[in-house]
């Protein structure tokens, strides 16, 4: 049985509330990875559509460095995870946030897989590289699917299956918590 850890040695995930909307907007705006609506529209719709959303804070100084979410849970047994961490943070911070978020999904719901969408050709920036690459499976590439910053980007659809998480994810968690 999985335990829904909310802390690693480096970060803490805390549930986001409607009051956190301006801070979340600021994190996403500074990342510049997605087009955001005006702040008022973002805040109006902010808490809708998420199964869970977390603020990512460094444990050493409490600085807010990112946000993660789980959304679009389907009866077919899958959910979409999003991980947004400030680019100036070490990759280990994003890796911990991704691992804790994926683990939270599997620990709390009867899911077959957790999806992660990215314009990156791999998930090394989220810690799924080297020995941890076996946890992730690329399921699809949607060519020229995203238009952002004046160009088209491919959308890579990755999946983490419960079987792989049970086999490899537990060991990953043991190293970070």
Q: What is the pLDDT of residues 25-42, one digit of tens each?
A: 998 888 876 778 888 898
Question: Alpha-carbon torsion 116, 119, 125, 127, what sign?
Answer: positive
Classify burial at 40, counting beta carbons within 10 Å of its beta carbon; exposed 0-12, middle 13-18, buried 19 or more.
exposed
Range of the domain at 49: 11-176
Number of domains forming the structure of the chain = 1
At residue 112, the 3 state secondary structure works out as coil
Tell me the CATH number at 76.
3.40.630.30
Walking along the chain (177 residues) 10 residues at a time, the average pLDDT comes out as 92 94 89 80 82 96 95 95 92 95 97 92 83 90 86 90 93 93
pLDDT for 33 equals 65
Cα 116 to the center of its chain, rounded Å: 7
Query: 2 in a domain, yes or no?
Result: no
Query: 43 in a domain, yes or no?
Result: yes
The pairing of beta strand 113-118 with beta strand 136-148: unpaired
Query: 151 in a domain, yes or no?
Result: yes
Query: 6 in a domain, yes or no?
Result: no
């Amino acid at each position: 049985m999985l335990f829904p850890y909310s802390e690693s040695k480096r970060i803490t995930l805390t549930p986001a509330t409607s009051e956190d909307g301006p801070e979340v907007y600021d994190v996403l705006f500074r990342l510049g990875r997605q087009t955001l609506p005006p702040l008022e529209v973002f805040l109006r719709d902010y808490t809708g559509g998420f199964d869970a959303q977390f603020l990512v804070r460094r444990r050493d100084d409490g600085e807010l460095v990112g946000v993660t979410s789980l959304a679009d849970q389907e009866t077919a047994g899958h959910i979409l995870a999003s991980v947004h961490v400030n680019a100036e943070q070490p990759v280990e911070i994003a890796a911990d946030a991704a691992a804790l978020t994926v683990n939270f999904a599997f620990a709390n719901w009867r899911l077959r897989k957790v999806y992660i969408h990215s314009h990156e050709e791999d998930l090394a920036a989220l810690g799924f590289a080297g020995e941890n690459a076996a946890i992730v499976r690329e399921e699809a590439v949607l060519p020229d699917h995203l238009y952002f910053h004046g160009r088209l980007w491919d959308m890579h659809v990755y999946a983490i299956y419960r079987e792989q998480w049970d086999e490899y994810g537990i060991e990953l968690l043991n190293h970070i918590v």
